[in-house]
């Protein structure tokens, strides 16, 4: 069994279901596109075919969510999203438990897969999902993705993405309100506040020799990741010292900005200890296509970028998007 591919499929499906569940909130994320739902459904088919602990009987609500997401049916997604996430977590935990039990007994060898029982009302057009060209495309996509950390890790990418979104909703908002008041008499005071906060998030506080990164073994990287929180006090001290040398040093005395900068360090550190690291995508880094597919609008909609606000988060530098960014358009 290829644990790398299975872990990646679990992570993508979990993130998608979490996003669907958040559609019930007052300020929901963007509606999943039919193409996104189709790709995620491919991941579920892959899991059903390769993980003997999961059958279609185990995840009927997950299948309903994916079907309704392809139709852009919000009420349908709402109806099944809570149950879908619950079913998914149970199925995933069964797989993890079996993986732990068999970790010293050659679990990476292909196990006997029990037949899946597919009910017509639960899955439509199942033959279409399993067409040869779709499966080959999915395999190619998965083979080009890096190793994914163990799903039992509380700082795995999906959890880091949740913390990153919370940072924007909470600490960023508090700091922005205080800076906007500070610059209220300036013509572009709001934009100045946003861009100064972006500088804090972008700031690099540690320069690592590329040769050192190449020489890190997988086990050394895993050790750094598992002890990431122990490094934070020293990193905080170094980070603040570096920021005081910048032109934004005066605003660090504001409690909300200080809290925001500390949280930025913590979460970006958790991003960087992933193997490979997660990546932030700013509007200027979008090479082609419609920028509005990667960034939602701040206070004004449009198609032309006015200035950046918050970056999108990617699983890796060239990997799938974990959460959209925010930008001011005109």
pLDDT by residue (tens digit) across 47-102?
888 887 788 888 888 988 888 888 888 888 888 888 888 888 888 877 776 654 44
Placement of tokens 């861009």 in the chain: 195
For 146: left if phi > 0, alpha if psi spans -120 to 50, otherwise beta; the answer is beta
Going by pLDDT thresholds of 50, 70 and 90, the confidence category of residue 110 is very low
pTM above 0.85, yes or no: no
Three-class secondary structure of residue 327 per DSSP: strand
pLDDT score, position 218: 54
pLDDT score, position 149: 47
Q: Give the residue from 130, 120, 118, 123 showing the smallest Cα distance to 55.
A: 118
For residue 188, CA distances in Å to 181, 192, 193, 194, 325 come to 12, 6, 9, 10, 22
Q: Which residues contact 242 (CB under 8 A, 6 or more apart)?
A: 203, 205
Q: Which residue has the higher pLDDT, 193 or 124?
A: 193
Task: Output the average pLDDT for the chain.
Answer: 76
C-alpha to C-alpha distance for 270 and 282, rounded to whole angstroms: 19
């Amino acid at each position: 069994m290829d644990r790398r591919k299975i872990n990646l499929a679990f992570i993508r499906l979990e993130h998608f279901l979490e996003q669907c569940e958040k559609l019930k909130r007052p300020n929901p994320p963007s509606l999943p596109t039919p193409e996104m739902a189709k790709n995620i459904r491919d991941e579920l088919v892959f899991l059903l075919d390769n993980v003997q602990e999961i059958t279609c009987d185990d995840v009927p609500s997950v299948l309903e969510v994916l079907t309704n997401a392809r139709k852009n049916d919000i009420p349908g997604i709402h109806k099944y999203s809570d149950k879908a996430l619950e079913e998914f977590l149970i199925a995933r935990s069964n797989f993890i438990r079996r993986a732990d039990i068999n970790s010293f007994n050659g679990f990476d060898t292909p196990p006997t897969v029990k037949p899946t029982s597919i009910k017509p009302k639960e899955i439509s057009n199942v033959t279409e999902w399993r067409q040869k060209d779709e499966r080959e495309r999915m395999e190619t996509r998965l083979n080009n993705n890096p190793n994914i950390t163990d799903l039992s890790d509380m700082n795995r990418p999906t959890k880091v993405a949740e913390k990153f979104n919370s940072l924007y909703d909470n600490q960023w908002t508090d700091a922005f309100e205080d800076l906007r008041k500070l610059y209220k008499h300036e013509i572009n005071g709001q934009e100045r506040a946003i861009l100064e906060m972006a500088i804090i998030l972008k700031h690099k506080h540690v320069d690592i020799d590329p040769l050192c990164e190449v020489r890190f073994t997988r086990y050394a990287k895993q050790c750094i990741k598992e002890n990431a929180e122990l490094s934070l006090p020293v990193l905080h001290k170094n980070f603040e010292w570096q920021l005081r040398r910048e032109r934004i040093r005066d605003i660090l005395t504001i409690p909300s900005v200080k809290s925001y900068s500390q949280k930025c360090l913590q979460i970006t550190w958790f991003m960087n200890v992933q193997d490979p690291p997660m990546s932030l995508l700013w509007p200027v880094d979008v090479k082609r296509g419609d920028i509005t597919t990667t960034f939602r609008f701040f206070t004004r909609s449009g198609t032309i970028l006015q200035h950046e606000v918050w970056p999108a988060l990617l699983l890796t530098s060239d990997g799938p998007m974990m959460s959209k960014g925010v930008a001011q358009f005109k």
